[in-house]
A and B are shown apart, each in its own frame.
Chain A
Amino acid sequence: MYQDEELVFSCPQVVADRPTHYCPGCHHGVAHRLVGELLEEMGLVEKTIMVTAIGCSVFLYNYLLVDAVEAPHGRAPAVATGVKRAKPDKFVFTYQGDGDLASIGMAEIMHCANRGERVSVVFVNNTVYGMTGGQMAPTTLIGQKTTTCPGGRCAEREGMPIKMAEIIASLGGSAYVARTALNNVKNINKTKKCLRKAFEVQTSGLGFGFVEVLSACPTNWKMSAIKANERIANEMIPYFPLGVFKDATADVTGEAAGKGEEGK
């Protein structure tokens, strides 16, 4: 580094200095970095226990240098409940994909949110099962082709894509629920702010924090990384509106929570 310049961006220490196994353009890397930066900025690295799920992010413990428990498929919120209740002074978060959280783990996430467990959930929604080769997920968009719906998802046959953020926001125990995207710099910065809020409702003991992060899977969408980012803006965000759906901290101060309109 030269004398007349300052370092404005570098990899956080808590993010391991090793190449990831993710495909080019996969947004897991961005999500990992945001979580890592927040853990450092909020001084939580030493007291964090993360609960990782099944999916492409199964190797999260290789990339974030904090204590971790690996949960069975979909059961991360149940495992996190146990960890948090046994160690209430620790910071506990789960990191799950849409195949894990919205399909096999639907019961666990619903009841964890409804009980208002003091945990945070990072929900990475890329509308497809990534690790197993691109099968249809509950969040797959209508018309999207996957290996198990090669003609495109049909609403009559498979139902409509599940909007998890709205469902979680309607449950009594959730304290902060937001949906953000990682398709451009503005949305990435907004995602970091929402994640911070979701982490803060846990550290302040308010309740359950949930952030749905719309992200790209260029490999299973069978398109380039740049096209995949455009798809998020053109196809995903119109169906999955961005915004804050519930904010217990705003209720306390009397501010109205966002109505899910921004970013449309």
Chain B
Amino acid sequence: MSRIEIREDRCKGCLLCTTVCPKEIIKQADRFNQHGYKPAEVPAGDMKKCTGCASCATICPDVAITVYKTKKKAKKGASHG
């Protein structure tokens, strides 16, 4: 499963990541972080839609997002569908 990790203490709530996500799964949280910004988050359950494209991390001015991508399956596994 591809996924992103948002460092909430680094997020300044600029929301640029929400504009570039192709699956539109990044939303603004209702809570405040320690700096008083409302950080970006992925609501529970939506993370499975993440494709690991890293667009959000590329545009994040605070380098607050780490991206993990699912490893491509070996050819043997792919033949089983």
A: residues with CB less than 8 A from B are 1-2, 4-11, 15, 19-20, 22-30, 33, 184-185, 188-189, 218, 224-226, 229
Contact call B70/A185, Cβ cutoff below 8 A: no
Contacting residue for B61 out of A22, A184, A185, CB 8 A: A22
Residue of B nearest to A32 (CB): B63
Residue of A nearest to B52 (CB): A8
B80 shortest CB reach to chain A, Å: 16
Contact call B67/A9, Cβ cutoff below 8 A: yes
- Known pairs A4-B71, A33-B63; A9 contacts B15 (CB<8 A): no
A-B contact count (CB 8 A): 83
B: residues with CB less than 8 A from A are 1-3, 9-10, 12-16, 19-20, 35, 37, 52, 54-55, 57-63, 65-71
CA distance A143 to B12 in the complex (A): 30
The list of the 9 closest CB pairs from A to B, nearest first, reads A29-B61, A25-B14, A24-B12, A225-B14, A9-B67, A24-B14, A9-B57, A9-B54, A5-B68
Residue of A nearest to B66 (CB): A10
B15 shortest CB reach to chain A, Å: 6
A78 shortest CB reach to chain B, Å: 30
B2, B20, B63, B68: residue with the most chain A Cβ atoms closer than 10 Å = B63
Contact call B71/A5, Cβ cutoff below 8 A: yes
What are the residues of chain A within 8 A of B67 when measuring CB–CB? 7-10
B57 shortest CB reach to chain A, Å: 4
What are the residues of chain A within 8 A of B59 when measuring CB–CB? 30, 184-185, 188
What are the residues of chain B within 8 A of A5 when measuring CB–CB? 1-3, 68-71
Residue of B nearest to A26 (CB): B61
B33 shortest CB reach to chain A, Å: 11
Residue of A nearest to B1 (CB): A5
Contacting residue for B58 out of A9, A19, A218, A224, CB 8 A: A9
Residue of B nearest to A29 (CB): B61
Contact call B71/A6, Cβ cutoff below 8 A: yes
What are the residues of chain B within 8 A of A20 when measuring CB–CB? 62
What are the residues of chain A within 8 A of B3 when measuring CB–CB? 5
Contact call A8/B10, Cβ cutoff below 8 A: no
What are the residues of chain A within 8 A of B68 when measuring CB–CB? 1-2, 5-8
